[in-house]
Amino acid sequence: MADDDVPSDSSLLVVIVDTNPNQRYIIEDPKMLTNVLDAVVAFSNSHLMQKASNELAVIGCHFHKSEYLYPSPGKPLDVRQIDGQYELFTLVEKTIKMRLVNLIKSQPQEEKPGESLLAGALALGLCFIARSRRSAIPGLRTSSRILVVTGSADTAAQYINYMNVFFTAQKEQVLIDVCSVDKHLSLLQQGCDITGGLYLKIPSLEGLLQYLLWVFLPEANERSKLVLPGRGRVDYRAACFCHRELLTIGYVCSVCLSVFCKFSPICTTCHTVFKIGGPPIKPKKKKMKV
Amino acid sequence: MTTSSEDVLLSVNCVRYKKGDGTLYVMNQRLAWMLEHRDTVAVSHKYADIKTQKISPAGKAKIQLQVVLHDGTCSTFHFVNPGGPEAQAKDRDQVMVLLQNLLPKFKRQIDGELEMKSKLLSLHPTLKHLYEDLVISKVINSEEYWNTPTLKQYTESSNIKQEAGVSGAFLADIQPQTDGCNGLKYNLTQDIIDAIFKTYPAVRKKHIDYVPNKMTEAEFWTKFFQSHYFHRDRIASSSSKDLFGECAKLDDHAIASAMRHTTLDLTVDLNKFIEHVPLLPTEEEASNEKDRSDNNSIHRNMIKRFNQHSIMVLKASQKSNSSNNSNSSSSKTSNNNNKVIENGVKDTNGVSKRPAEHSTEPIEKKKRILEQIHYEDLVADQGNDDVQELKLSKVERYLLGPSYQISQTSVQTSHPPPLSALASVCQAWSSGQQCQRPARVSAGAAVGALGELSPGGALMRHHHAASMN
């Protein structure tokens, strides 16, 4: 957003992976989650490869909680060089694998899985960014962004949490990118629009890594120089308070600002009585006789 | 019909209108024409509606009178008196003369108002838009519109007339004409004399003293123009017999009295007005010598005169319009000749007024100081007791987002989420395959993805060429 032209010295990427078993592609084939995670690991390593000072965080988002998959909260694993792979990459991969298993094993078996706690995971990512900014070397320009990889559908219950997160991210100049694997997410698309990130809904899971590398790897100030998918039409319509349907034209109470789809003389939220009688009647136009 | 209520001033037979012969009636308030052998008026124009009348030129065969209305329509009456063109012309001229007398009476009543209103609307486009929005769409009546108090300020603003002051350069405009042999001739009209008196009340006083007792007008004015007082370099030399030499002294008195009586405005920081002259090494001493050289006394005099003039202008603008001749001109002048002096008589008037104002001064001063130190925004809230609390029921409505049509849940509910399967898959994934590096993405899928992301691809539909810089 601001300082787009100034190249940053280091870039912090937070990847939020939705591991909720409720997602359609997981229900159809549970192995696809590991494929998705393979792609995410490769993508994260590519990000670390861009600059030596780049930083990474991966958060796994489940239906009961969200957890850091990388970096591990405790002591980092002791890795040795395997196969000529850069130790950091090995560390990333191993940590993510280990922590994912922990996360999945910790899911409560008795409950029916609910929605993914994506808003909470976004907040967690923002906290990580804020903390790393505070402990950064002064004078080091860091650009931060969050990438959300999810196959869930839009949720109505986390609406206000999403909005809080989006506006905080906008204030903190953090981009939120969204890669939707399955469905069109209008709420997250709004978040991308607000913060200046990119929203992409990919048609198939096979080329996920290619999509990630092509669209989401460049930093914010590089994106303006590349040919990337555009913003598209963002659906900012409000939802009426009675049916929660999206409206283009509605009635707004002037006292409590609640939105309704039909006119009613008493607002059901604040119980204000409106003296104006009914919607305005259009005056009938007299036809000109030629 | 109409003829019953009005008097007919003139009726002219044999007037043709649109191929019909009839009679033209000139009445009190309107012009009417009736077709012959009928008893209903075919054409009737109120004088109020008539803008102008026109007559055909003298040489033409057809003798006609045309009446132009405000909305642009015109009616032409053709005089066809069988008695010949002279009779026709006579008829027409009769009508014309009557109309000439009658039309102006009706014109002013309504025309003026309408004209003023339309002029107002054209001068202030905001008013015009308001008028169009409100009256034409029938939200309020046109009467209500014109009677609103805010409109009065527009209509009445032109009533305040300012008295025209004296032009600053008028004395320079009195250009002398060379008289042939080394003499200058000045033409003085009464206007110029009045202007001189207005600008220099001291001269007026002298004029009253000397004329016509001690010298004639001509001599007086000759001396005036000869005096140093008039000319540029006003070095007051008391030895000169110039009768105007005293006027310069009066100036000094005026300045001194003004200085005594000016109230200091504490809120004005005079130091801010001083420009810092860049200190150049060679010119540092120059500032010390300024007070001494003769040259600069002329500058000081000039500055003194300008200051006096400004004082007079300010005083004049503070007085109401009712005070008359001794008012100085309000125009600023750069012409050295025009400096306003306060008359001796005037001075005493000013002085006598001061004691009355003294009592109001401290109050005003305090008010001004208070104004400067108080910021309205920072004043603590007075406690709005009349604010009602907003009582809301069903607050969760604000917190929930729109509900999306989740038709796919029907597919999902048939399959329970594979919790255990997922767990085992992940376990296998994490423990096995540490050495093998499976292909993360197949070549075909990658190329397909690239194709979709290239310009023109399936995913690039929203990408506009304009966004590429």
Q: Rounded distance, CA B331 to CA B168, Å?
A: 6
Which H or E run includes A221? Answer: helix A220-223
The b-or-e profile of B116-140 (16+ CB within 10 A means b, else e) is: ebeebbeeeeebeebbeebbeeeee
Q: Name the maximum alpha-carbon separation found in chain B.
A: 132
In the prediction, which pLDDT does B437 show?
Answer: 63
Would an 8 Å CB–CB cutoff place A105 in contact with chain B?
yes
User: Which of B39-48, B49-58, B217-226, B255-264 bottoms out in mean pLDDT, i.e. has the lowest?
Assistant: B255-264
In the prediction, which pLDDT does A11 show?
Answer: 93
Average pLDDT over residues A192-209: 91
Give me the DSSP letters along A150-171.
Answer: E-----STTHHHHHHHHHHHHH
Q: Rounded distance, CA B305 to CA B310, Å?
A: 9
In the prediction, which pLDDT does A49 show?
Answer: 94
B-chain residues near A233 (CB < 8 A): 462
Distance in Å, alpha carbon of B122 to nearest chain A alpha carbon: 29
Q: Between A40 and B163, where is the model more confident?
A: A40
Query: Do A16 and A143 fall into the same domain?
Result: yes
Query: Do A39 and A135 fall into the same domain?
Result: yes
Q: Beta strands A238-239 and A199-201: pairing type?
A: unpaired
A-chain residues near B396 (CB < 8 A): none
Distance in Å, alpha carbon of A220 to nearest chain B alpha carbon: 15
Residues B41 and B1 sit within 8 Å (Cβ to Cβ):
yes
A271 inside domain:
yes
Whether residues A228 and B463 touch (CB distance < 8 A) is answered with yes
User: Which range has highest mean pLDDT (A116-120, A236-240, B101-105)?
Assistant: A116-120
- Summary mean pLDDT of chain B: 68
Q: For an interface test with A, give the residue of B394, B400, B414 to mutate (most A CBs within 10 A).
A: B400
A285 inside domain:
no
Domain range spanning residue A261?
Answer: 237-279
Query: How many distinct helices (H) and strands (E) make up chain A?
Result: 8, 10
In the prediction, which pLDDT does B399 show?
Answer: 82
Average pLDDT over residues A120-132: 95
Average pLDDT over residues A50-64: 92
B-chain residues near A157 (CB < 8 A): 400-401
A-chain residues near B398 (CB < 8 A): 160, 258
In the prediction, which pLDDT does B350 show?
Answer: 38
Select from B233, B237, B249 the least CA-distant residue to B300: B233
How many domains in chain A?
2
Q: Rounded distance, CA A190 to CA A201, Å?
A: 14
pLDDT digits (tens, 9 = 90+) for A68-93: 998 988 888 888 888 888 889 989 98
Would an 8 Å CB–CB cutoff place A104 in contact with chain B?
yes
Which residue among A27, A156, A206 places its CB closest to the CB of B418?
A27
Q: Chain A residue closest to B436 (CA)?
A: A83
Q: Read off the pLDDT band of B1 (50, 70, 90).
A: very low
Query: Do A160 and A63 fall into the same domain?
Result: yes
B-chain residues near A158 (CB < 8 A): 401
Q: Read off the pLDDT band of A188 (50, 70, 90).
A: very high
Select from A276, A282, A247 the least CA-distant residue to A264: A276
Distance in Å, alpha carbon of A22 to nearest chain B alpha carbon: 6
3-state secondary structure chain B: CHHHHCCEEEEEEEEEECCEEEEEEEECCEEEEEECCCCCEEEEEECCCEEEEEECCCCCCCCEEEEEECCCCEEEEEECCCCCHHHHHHHHHHHHHHHHHHHHHHHHHHHHHHHHHHHHHHHCHHHHHHHHHHHHCCCCCHHHHHHCHHHHHHHHHHHCCCCCCCCCCHHHHCCCEECCCCCEECCCCHHHHHHHHHHCHHHHHHHHHHCCCCCCHHHHHHHHHHCCCCCCCCCCCCCCCCCCHHHHHHHHHHHHHHHHHCCCCCCCCHHHHCCCCCCCHHHCCHHHHCCCCCHHHHHHHHHHHHHHHHHHHHHHHHCCCCCCCCCCCCCCCCCCCCCCCCCHHHHHHHHHHHHHHHCHHHHHHHHHHHHHHCCCCCCCCCCCCCCCCCCCCCCHHHHCCCCCCCCCHHHHHHCCCCHHHHHHHHHHHHHCCCCCCCCCCCHHHHHHHHHHHCCCCHHHCCCCHHHCC
Select from A150, A41, A43, A179 the least CA-distant residue to B459: A179
Across the strands, what pairs with B148? none
B-chain residues near A200 (CB < 8 A): 459
In the prediction, which pLDDT does B466 show?
Answer: 44
Q: For an interface test with A, give the residue of B452, B454, B461, B462 to mutate (most A CBs within 10 A).
A: B452
Q: Rounded distance, CA B51 to CA B64, Å?
A: 17
pLDDT of B331 > 50? The answer is no
Q: Read off the pLDDT band of B227 (50, 70, 90).
A: low
- The CA-CA-CA angle for residues B20, B26, B29, to 5°, reads 125
B66 to B12, B60, B75, B77, B398: CA distances (angstroms) = 15, 14, 6, 6, 73
Q: Name the maximum alpha-carbon separation found in chain A.
A: 93
Whether residues B404 and A255 touch (CB distance < 8 A) is answered with no
In the prediction, which pLDDT does B110 show?
Answer: 56
pLDDT of B3 > 50? The answer is no
User: Which range has highest mean pLDDT (B26-40, B332-346, B433-447)?
Assistant: B26-40
User: Which of A202-211, A272-281, B174-183, B203-212 bottoms out in mean pLDDT, i.e. has the lowest?
Assistant: B174-183
Query: Do A134 and A272 fall into the same domain?
Result: no
Q: Read off the pLDDT band of B341 (50, 70, 90).
A: very low
SS3 A266: strand
Average pLDDT over residues B24-50: 82
In the prediction, which pLDDT does B390 show?
Answer: 79
Whether residues A22 and B459 touch (CB distance < 8 A) is answered with no
pLDDT of A194 > 80? The answer is yes
A67 inside domain:
yes
Residues 6+ apart with CB under 8 A from B368: B265, B266, B267
Q: For an interface test with A, give the residue of B387, B388, B389, B398 to mutate (most A CBs within 10 A).
A: B398
pLDDT of B355 > 70? The answer is no
pLDDT of B346 > 50? The answer is no
In the prediction, which pLDDT does B176 show?
Answer: 61
pLDDT digits (tens, 9 = 90+) for B396-412: 888 887 776 554 454 44
What's the CATH number where A24 sits? 3.40.50.410
B-chain residues near A109 (CB < 8 A): 419-420
B-chain residues near A105 (CB < 8 A): 423
A91 inside domain:
yes
Whether residues B408 and A241 touch (CB distance < 8 A) is answered with no
A272 inside domain:
yes
Task: Report the percentage of chain A scoring pLDDT > 90.
Answer: 40
Average pLDDT over residues B128-150: 71
User: Which of A68-82, A137-151, B128-142 bottoms out in mean pLDDT, i.e. has the lowest?
Assistant: B128-142
Select from B262, B273, B228 the least CA-distant residue to B248: B228
Query: Do A123 and A257 fall into the same domain?
Result: no
B-chain residues near A210 (CB < 8 A): 441, 445-446, 449-450
In the prediction, which pLDDT does B158 show?
Answer: 53
In the prediction, which pLDDT does A130 show?
Answer: 94
User: Which of A78-87, B70-79, B188-197 bottoms out in mean pLDDT, i.e. has the lowest?
Assistant: B188-197
A232 inside domain:
no
Query: Do A105 and A39 fall into the same domain?
Result: yes
Q: For an interface test with B, give the residue of A227, A228, A246, A268 to mutate (most B CBs within 10 A).
A: A227
B71 to B49, B113, B387: CA distances (angstroms) = 8, 16, 56
B-chain residues near A183 (CB < 8 A): 408
Residues 6+ apart with CB under 8 A from B461: A230, A232
In the prediction, which pLDDT does A168 show?
Answer: 95
User: Which range has highest mean pLDDT (A8-22, B15-29, B431-445)?
Assistant: A8-22
pLDDT of B74 > 50? The answer is yes
Average pLDDT over residues B432-460: 77
Whether residues A156 and B400 touch (CB distance < 8 A) is answered with yes
Query: Do A153 and A99 fall into the same domain?
Result: yes
B192 to A42, A45, B170, B195, B385: CA distances (angstroms) = 98, 96, 8, 5, 68
Query: Do A251 and A138 fall into the same domain?
Result: no
Q: Read off the pLDDT band of B18 (50, 70, 90).
A: confident
pLDDT of B101 > 60? The answer is yes
A-chain residues near B399 (CB < 8 A): 159-160
Query: Do A220 and A137 fall into the same domain?
Result: yes
Q: Read off the pLDDT band of B413 (50, 70, 90).
A: low
Average pLDDT over residues A218-231: 87
> What is the 8-class DSSP label of residue A5?
S
Q: Read off the pLDDT band of A177 (50, 70, 90).
A: very high
Rounded to the nearest 5°, which phi and psi values hold at B439? -65, 125
Query: Do A67 and A186 fall into the same domain?
Result: yes
Query: Do A121 and A146 fall into the same domain?
Result: yes
In the prediction, which pLDDT does A213 show?
Answer: 93
In the prediction, which pLDDT does B210 show?
Answer: 76
Average pLDDT over residues B214-229: 71
Average pLDDT over residues B428-432: 81
Across the strands, what pairs with A176? A146
pLDDT of B337 > 90? The answer is no
Residues A100 and B428 sit within 8 Å (Cβ to Cβ):
no
Give me the DSSP letters along A46-90.
Answer: HHHHH-TT-EEEEEEE-SS-EEEEES-SSSPP-----TT--HHHH
pLDDT of B424 > 70? The answer is yes
In the prediction, which pLDDT does A236 show?
Answer: 87
pLDDT of B358 > 60? The answer is no
Size of the A and B interface in Cβ pairs below 8 Å: 169
In the prediction, which pLDDT does B328 show?
Answer: 39
pLDDT of A200 > 50? The answer is yes
Q: Rounded distance, CA B78 to CA B62, Å?
A: 7
Q: Rounded distance, CA B395 to CA A260, Å?
A: 14
Q: Rounded distance, CA A23 to CA A148, Å?
A: 14
Distance in Å, alpha carbon of A134 to nearest chain B alpha carbon: 32
Whether residues A245 and B463 touch (CB distance < 8 A) is answered with no
Would an 8 Å CB–CB cutoff place A24 in contact with chain B?
yes
Residue where a domain stops, chosen among A224, A245, A262: A224
A82 inside domain:
yes
Whether residues A153 and B406 touch (CB distance < 8 A) is answered with yes
User: Which range has highest mean pLDDT (A91-100, B72-81, B262-271)?
Assistant: A91-100
Query: Do A246 and A212 fall into the same domain?
Result: no
User: What is the C-alpha R_g of chain A?
Assistant: 23
Q: Read off the pLDDT band of B293 (50, 70, 90).
A: low
Q: Read off the pLDDT band of B230 (50, 70, 90).
A: low
Which residue among B398, B427, B463 places its CB closest to the CB of A229?
B463
A287 inside domain:
no
Average pLDDT over residues A171-198: 92
Q: Beta strands A199-201 and A174-180: pairing type?
A: parallel
Cα-Cα-Cα-Cα dihedral of B97, B101, B103, B107, to 10°?
150
In the prediction, which pLDDT does B324 show?
Answer: 40
Distance in Å, alpha carbon of B376 to nearest chain A alpha carbon: 28
Task: Report the percentage of chain B scoring pLDDT > 90.
Answer: 0
Would an 8 Å CB–CB cutoff place A127 in contact with chain B?
no
Distance in Å, alpha carbon of B134 to nearest chain A alpha carbon: 15
Average pLDDT over residues A92-101: 90
pLDDT of B369 > 90? The answer is no
Q: Read off the pLDDT band of B155 (50, 70, 90).
A: low
